[in-house]
Structure 1
Amino acid sequence: MAKLIVSDLDVKDKKVLIRVDFNVPIKDGKIGDDNRIVAALPTIKYVIEHDGKAILFSHLGRIKSEDDKKGLSLRPVAERLSNLLNKPVTFVPVTEGEQLETAINNMNDGDVLVVENTRLEDVVNG
């Protein structure tokens, strides 16, 4: 079977889950190097320019304890992505549940949503 790429898909009116690599250096809420965010732009732009809903999932850092969670939110990444796209990006501070489902269901075609660091739930849910 041939590999498909995003441009092979009809994303209009679809919720498109995209696993991105936003594991970028963040110190004091500031991103040190946004190359990985920039690298994801063509895929994200394709989805939103073709009236899809881009739902982005990523991990950030290594979390082995509750203390490791400090400073590892993807909120700064969502803010940087909003600047790069020159449009609002919704950030959802959870990785599952009603808040996330509601945010996704309220998306319009062409919207972008960033889900909180998927590794933050690992410690809580074990």
Structure 2
Amino acid sequence: MLRRWRLAILTATCGGLIAAVKIGDGSPWGAAFVIVISLGLAFVVSPQLFPRAESAAEAITDGRPVVYWRPGCPFCVRLRARLGSDADRVHWVDIWRDPEGAATVRAITGGDETVPTVVIGGEGFVNPDPSWIRDRIATVS
């Protein structure tokens, strides 16, 4: 569980340390700015940005697209952000939480855990363009 939050915790901790130095230098506004920015970045790289994670077994039941992702992946964050409200129309499987999902990704990518990997209609796509995925979601759902 901690593995999923490691990057977010590290980001917030580094921001706190930099803010402490800023306060020591007599710059409380600079410290506040650093805290706000670091907490924002910590949220972006945390699992909280994504819809509720499902298991791979749950995700394949209704035919909707499945996105395999992991916390801290900048490409996953990009895909989530670009899908916007359409992100709720796909299943999100956290490969660090679900070994079956990680095995699926390794099978598609030839042994690597490259994410995001998207499965639509039984066909896997590694790090596809978010606009292409949005178009596919519209036709599948």
TM-score (norm 2): 0.26
Higher helix share: 2
Higher strand share: 1
* Larger RCO (CA under 8 A, 6+ residues apart): 1
Q: Rg larger in 1 or in 2?
A: 2
TM-score (norm 1): 0.28
